[in-house]
Amino acid sequence: MTPATFTAKIDLKLADKIKNDLIEQGFEISRPPYTVFAAKKPGISCTLYESGSLTVQGKEMQPFIEFYLEPEILQEFQFSHPEAHLDTAPHIGMDEAGKGDFFGPLCVAAVFADGEGIKNMQKIGVKDSKRLSDDSVKKIAAKIRSAYSYTVIRLFPQKYNELYGKFKNLNRLLGWAHAAALEDVIRKTDCKEALLDQFADKHVMENALKQKKIEVNLKQKVRGEEDLVVAAASILARAGFLDGLETLSQEYGLPLPKGAAAQVVDAGQKLVAKYGAEILGKVAKTHFKTMNDVLS
Instruction: Give CA 49 to chain center in angstroms.
Output: 27
d(CA 72, CA 20): 13
> pLDDT 10s per residue in the chain (296 long)?
556 788 888 899 999 999 999 999 999 999 999 999 999 999 999 999 999 999 999 999 988 988 899 888 987 766 655 554 567 899 999 999 999 999 999 999 999 999 999 989 988 988 888 888 999 999 999 999 999 999 999 999 999 999 999 999 999 999 999 999 999 999 999 999 999 999 999 999 999 999 999 999 999 988 888 899 999 999 999 999 999 999 999 999 999 999 988 899 999 999 999 999 999 999 999 999 999 999 98
Q: CATH: 3.30.310.10, 1.20.1260.10, 3.40.50.1970, 3.40.50.11890. Which one for 5-84? A: 3.30.310.10
Per-residue pLDDT of 103-125, as tens digits, reads 999 999 999 999 999 989 988 98
CB 252 within 8 A of CB 275: yes
Q: Which pLDDT score is estimated for 118? A: 92
Domains of the chain, residue spans: 5-84, 91-246, 247-295
d(CA 258, CA 266): 12
Q: Which pLDDT score is estimated for 78? A: 66
Q: Give CATH superfamily name and number for 91-246.
A: Ribonuclease H-like superfamily/Ribonuclease H (3.30.420.10)
CB 161 within 8 A of CB 278: no
CB 108 within 8 A of CB 177: yes
**What letter would DSSP give residue 13?**
G
Residue 57: CB partners within 8 Å, gap ≥ 6?
Answer: 4, 5, 6, 44, 45
**What letter would DSSP give residue 278?**
G
Q: Which pLDDT score is estimated for 77? A: 65
Q: Which pLDDT score is estimated for 84? A: 47
d(CA 30, CA 167): 59
Q: Which pLDDT score is estimated for 131? A: 81
d(CA 279, CA 271): 7
**Distance of CA 153 to CAs 73, 103, 123, 174, 216, Å?**
45, 17, 26, 11, 19
Q: What is the pTM of this model?
A: 0.74
d(CA 287, CA 159): 13
Per-residue pLDDT of 13-47, as tens digits, reads 999 999 999 999 999 999 999 999 999 999 999 99
CB 114 within 8 A of CB 92: no
